[in-house]
Structure 1
Amino acid sequence: MTTSVDVQSPVHLTAVAADNLPAVTPDLEDLYREFERELLIPLWTEIGDLMPLSPRSKAVPHRWRWGSLRALAARAGDLVPVGRGGERRAIALANPGLAGRPFATPTLWAAIQYLLPGENAPEHRHTQHAFRFVLEGEGVWTVVDGDPVAMRRGDFLPQAGWNWHAHHNATTEPMAWIDGLDIPLQYLTESQFFEYGRDEISDAEKTTPERSRSERLWGHPGLRPLAASARPATPGSPLLAYRWEATDRALTDQLALEKEGYGGTVEPGHAAVRYTDPATGADVLPTIRVEFHRIARTAETEPVKETGSSVYTVFDGSGTVTVGEKTWSVGRGDLFVVPSWQPFSARSQAGDSDSDSGALDLFRFSDSPVFEALKLSRVVREAAP
């Protein structure tokens, strides 16, 4: 028989005796060999894997300790230069279930980036949507399309795809922060583009203004500029920095209102905010949702299962978190992954000795906008044990 391929087929089929499957006979075996030669796969051999009763993520719950990440980043600072080729001294979290790929989840990238005093990370741009979240220190400036933006502890700095950007450390101390991107999603969909920019940014771009141009234009709550030129051409929020002071105040006010007998918290002792595009009210990035959660001391969140995945960073405080069948103690800087349809809950054990707010503060980013756009979003809240 003439085959459609001249190389060994990557398709391998095994006839299995089981209820609701065809009887294993020489004719069936011969049929399967013909399927292999023609690169065909029958649904009846794959349906359990392709159409499970509920999501079965290849990613697994996992926690990374900040102390180890920070120490290894510092060692990399001594050994690995920043420049063309490697571009960034960024060290990605590799989920144990994803075959050694540098992916925290099937759709999300998370990394620690480290920049030494006086170093400049060269300019480039890419279609991947990105953000920076600062866990410690200050003194690095990210320059987005020529706009210098200060980076300080607790600040969230979104940067939508296809914006030119570079970083420079204007101080005498190294600095580390968390990068989040949708690299795995764009890798899976084969939709990514990348372009090199200038090797050096100008002296004018290395200035250190208190507020970036984007903050001066878009950083006024409830007020939207009417100038047609104000809105950038790229998707995502035009505001390049969401400052910690505003986030902290919003969370503090929610818990205070709860104590006064008014609404405003997600559940008892659980305050939360979402970073949004000030022009549209939508998510701050097209493919990434970003939130901040504050859990008061001794409060425990209700277990929640969601389609899609998320990465959490412990900004402050301590507590225990449960993801699926895993439970960990966590502290400042630790990161952990919640895969699709794995129940997640957290209990705060924070106090004045380990938290500026006296609570467990959690920074979260997820792929929820993608699932909502595809009408695949599903959320189930379970009764707390």
Structure 2
Amino acid sequence: MHSVCMRSYTSSVQTPVRVQPVAAPDQPQVTPALKTLYRGFEDEFLVPLWTEIGDLMPTHPRPGATPHVWRWDRLRRLAAQAGELVPVGRGGERRAIALANPSMGGRPFATPTLWAAIQYLMPGEDAPEHRHTQHAFRFVVEGQEVWTVVDGDPVPMRRGDFLPQAGWNWHAHHNATDEPMAWIDGLDIPLQYAIESQFFEFGRSEISEAERGTPDRSRSERLWAHPGLRPVAGLTSGRGSPLLAYKWKHTDRALSDQLALEGEGYQATVEPGHAAVRYTNPVTGGDVLPTIRAEMHRVARGSETAPTRDTGSSVYQVFDGSGTVSVGEHTWSVSRGDLFVVPSWQEFSARSEASASDSDSGALDLFRFSDAPVFEALGLHRHDAEDAVR
């Protein structure tokens, strides 16, 4: 009688839940009663842990993203074609073309937490003002003389510059030159999409003449871009770094000095031939954005980094030089502008094959951004170097 009552409404229930009995040593014996129990679970939208624990609690991360490389020359060519065909304006907002990881069902996500896109602005064009809760940055691998205007502050963008922008700040872009320009955008769109936290708001369709200025340094740089110094004016950093542009000349010098000090016998590098710097908030010393970590790595010619793996995912762009990178079971030759993904807990290493013919520094320079601040804040970050990987 009990089983009849339990199934009396089955035909009216539409449920996506499917619980299948499995004949296995760690599973209960498959009997008609067990099958009836499982149908009852389905009708009530319930899933027993003992049938799912292998997927829900694996022995190590099983990333949803796949290692993949995108070639800069192809991205640049397609972006230029889009520049001729696709207008920039209210509604479309940006001529941004996102990297879609092959394993993420066609969604415009590089990894489950990170968005990466090439953005392209034609001569004289403006990208209209808007704001969003997603934290963002721009990184310039080629070109110059586009300005991003953040809360009324025009910030110049040039090759090698890193420009973070915390969420919910008004921003627009304008190209004051007669040449198109391309750069990469990084955002935490997939993360905020997954946790259903995102907001977006349109701003003005046109920025003011004052904001269309072309200063060599933004107001944020004049106030904050003095190494080791911060203003004593009671200013706070808000949700991210108040410094809106980290200039390549400073990054380049820091990396060069690390390798030079290593050559003089001092311990200054991550490992032999591998210099690295992290972009930081001048107020807190922490990451520039709450959900994104950004770094620049320089691998001297002939040097190879030790294999490492981390929880969380990363996107890399080759800023300069050439070399070979290995991600999990994949190995690629890469050169300036190429982008590639390192999914969670996938082994990564890079070997520099750069020279003066393809690199200003003679080394392989890699820009990296990751979701490490999120994992660290949740106590979930884990890093294994060569000894743990092998």
TM superposition score category, shorter chain reference: over 0.9
What is aligned with 2:109? 103
CA distance in 2, matches of 1:231, 1:201: 26
- The answer to whether 1:254 aligns with 2:263 is no
> Could you say which residue in structure 1 is the equivalent of 2:372?
368
Identify which of 175, 178, 186 aligns with 1:172.
Answer: 178
Normalising to structure 1: TM-score of the pair?
0.98
- What is the deviation of 1:153? 0.2
Deviations 1:345-377 (A, max 9, x none): 000000000000000000000000000000000
Q: For residue 346 of structure 1, what is the aligned residue in structure 2?
A: 350
TM-superposed CA distance for 1:4, in Å, is 9.9
Q: Is 1:19 the counterpart of 2:25 in the alignment?
A: yes
CA RMSD across the alignment = 1.3
Indicate whether 1:210 and 2:216 are aligned: yes
Does structure 2 conserve the Cα–Cα contact (< 8 Å) formed by 1:312 and 1:337? yes
Decide which of 169, 181, 195 is 2:201's aligned counterpart.
195
Show the 5 A alignment for 1:250-289: 250-289=254-293
Once superposed, which parts of structure 1, at least 4 consecutive aligned residues long, lie more than 2 Å away? 1-7
How far has the Cα of 1:20 moved from its partner? Answer: 1.3
Residue 140 of structure 1 is matched in structure 2 by 146
Q: How far apart, CA to CA, are the structure 1 residues paired with 2:232 and 2:367?
A: 32
2:98 counterpart of 1:92: yes
Q: How does 1:72-83 map to 2 (within 5 A)?
A: 72-83=78-89
Mapped to 2, the partners of 1:20 and 1:216 lie a distance apart of: 65
2:254 alignment partner AA: A
Q: Among 119, 130, 135, which residue is 1:124 paired with? A: 130
- In structure 1, the residue matched to 2:244 is 240
Looking at structure 2, the residues matched to 129 and 146 of structure 1 have their Cα atoms a distance apart, in angstroms, of: 18
Distance in structure 2 (CA, Å) of the matches to 1:249 and 1:175 = 25
Q: How many angstroms apart in 1 are the aligned matches of 2:265 and 2:13?
A: 71
- Residue type at the aligned position of 1:231: T
Q: How far, CA to CA, are the matches of 1:231 and 1:363 in structure 2? A: 27
User: Alpha carbons of 1:5 and 1:362: their partners in 2 closer, same or farther (altered >3 Å)?
Assistant: farther
Corresponding residue for 2:315? Answer: 311
**C-alpha deviation, 1:231, in angstroms:** 2.7
Conserved? CA contact 1:55–1:341, under 8 Å: yes
Structure 2 residue runs of 5 or longer lacking an equivalent are none
Q: Deviations over 1:324-360 (max 9, x none)?
A: 0000000000000000000000000000000000000
Asked if structure 1 preserves the Cα contact closer than 8 Å seen for 2:13 and 2:43, the reply is no
**2-side partners of 1:249 and 1:133: how far apart?**
18
| Separation in 2, partners of 1:139, 1:171 | 7
Equivalents in 2 of 1:22, 1:101: separation in Å?
Answer: 38
Structure-2 residue corresponding to 1:298: 302
The residue aligned with 2:236 is 231
1:317 is displaced (CA, Å) by 0.2
Q: What is the number of equivalent residue pairs in this alignment?
A: 383
Q: Which TM-score applies when normalising by structure 2? A: 0.97
State the secondary structure of the residue aligned to 1:241.
Answer: coil
Letter of the 1:139 counterpart: E
Q: Distance in 1 between matches of 2:77 and 2:19?
A: 48
Q: Deviations over 1:115-151 (max 9, x none)?
A: 0001000000000000000010011100000000000
Q: Contact 1:4 / 1:38 at 8 angstroms: preserved in 2?
A: no
| Cα deviation digits, residues 36-69 of structure 1 (max 9, x gap) | 0000000011000000000000101000000000
Superposition deviation, residue 185 in structure 1: 0.3
SS in structure 2 opposite 1:205?
coil
SS at match of 2:211: helix
Whole-Å separation in 2 of the counterparts to 1:328 and 1:201: 43
CA distance in 1, matches of 2:375, 2:9: 40
Partner of 1:31: 37
Q: Is the 8 A contact 1:236 1:284 kept in 2?
A: yes
